[in-house]
Amino acid sequence: MTRRRTTSPATSTGSMKVARIYMRVSTDEQDLQRQEGIKDAARAAGYYVAGVYREKASGARADRPELLRMIDDLQPGEVVIAEKIDRISRLPLAEAERLVNSIQAKGAKLAVPGVIDLSELAADAEGVTKIVLESVQAMLLRLALQIARDDYEDRRERQRQGVELAKSAGKYAGRQADTGMHQRIEALRGSGHSITETARLAGCSESQVKRVWALRKRPA
């Protein structure tokens, strides 16, 4: 994973739009290259890119190291840019809303295709109009997050059905271990990195690090 973190004087002056870009794929076999164009598009739209955060982890997990690092880095007035809302979250709705709230609590907002941003209109409005705009914004965001979760669950169900069909046909060999990931984890832990550091550097969860390391230490 590669992360570039810089600080721009424009952040405090408000003279430039500042963005942090989050890119994610679910597995080590998938490629982040398709999402790299987001940086050029952001700059072409007039954003100063203060950070790019890349990781390979499931969007159904809330403990993604680079996502949490990005949220920690956020400054008021900045914008989080992602390819789609499901890059940010495939979590159940309540957890997804907590995640988005943690971004908004930093004074930042989302700029994601399919998510309409009414925050500027709401900021300039008053009274009932302001309440309506804020309510519509919240509803649209909630809908986008729920669609991302529903898509995740549909994919999981199709996968489960595929496994059942393969088992009934005697063709299911089980999930194959990611040997490349296992080797990285073993090398990082073996060189003295902590579980947390290993998970961040390998692009996986801490629980996966613990599982792989426990298997390695298990007597043959």
**Among all residues, which ones are annotated catalytic?**
26
Cα angle value 36/111/206 (rounded, 5°): 65
Sign of CA dihedral 139, 53, 196, 8: negative
Please answer whether residues 159 and 26 qualify as being in contact, where contact means their C-beta atoms are separated by less than 8 angstroms.
Answer: no
Q: Could you tell me how far CA 175 lies from the centroid of its own chain?
A: 24
- Please state whether beta strands 47-56 and 79-81 pair in parallel, antiparallel, or not at all (unpaired): unpaired
Question: Which amino acid is it at 157?
Answer: E
Residue 9 in tokens? 């004087």
CA nearest neighbour of 54 among 65, 63, 42, 66: 66
Q: Which residue in the block uniquely carries the two structure tokens 């298997």?
A: 215
